[in-house]
Amino acid sequence: MPTESDREISKLKRELSLYKQTFEQHKNIDKKYNEVVDKLKESKETLELKVQERTKDLKEKQRFLESIVNGIEDPVIIFFIYIFM
């Protein structure tokens, strides 16, 4: 028949096992959290680069169109180009 000490030891072993499981779960959660944070940082950097590239392209196109418009003397032609582009 188990003694009081045996029951206490058994109880403590179960608690220790639960603590170990909880600790492992927290480690896994922490690892996944860090992975998500890293992916978000990568995505942010990628998006910032895309925005910079697209902004540069847009500015180049704007300068090109401005050079065309500035070279045209007849306002009707400017309006025609603006409408049909």
Checking if the pLDDT of 85 tops 90, the result is no
Burial 5-15 (b: 16+ CB within 10 A, else e): eeeeeeeeeee
- Residue 84 has what pLDDT? 63
pLDDT in tens, 29-79: 999 999 999 999 999 999 999 999 999 999 999 998 888 777 766 666 666
Dist CA 2 CA 27 (whole Å) = 36
pLDDT at 79: 64
Range of the domain at 48: 4-83
Residue of 84, 49, 51 whose CA lies nearest to 65:
84
**Which carries the bigger pLDDT value, residue 15 or residue 75?**
15
C-alpha span between 23 and 11 (Å, rounded): 18
Count of structural domains, the chain? 1
pLDDT at site 78: 61
Tell which wins on pLDDT, 80 or 53: 53
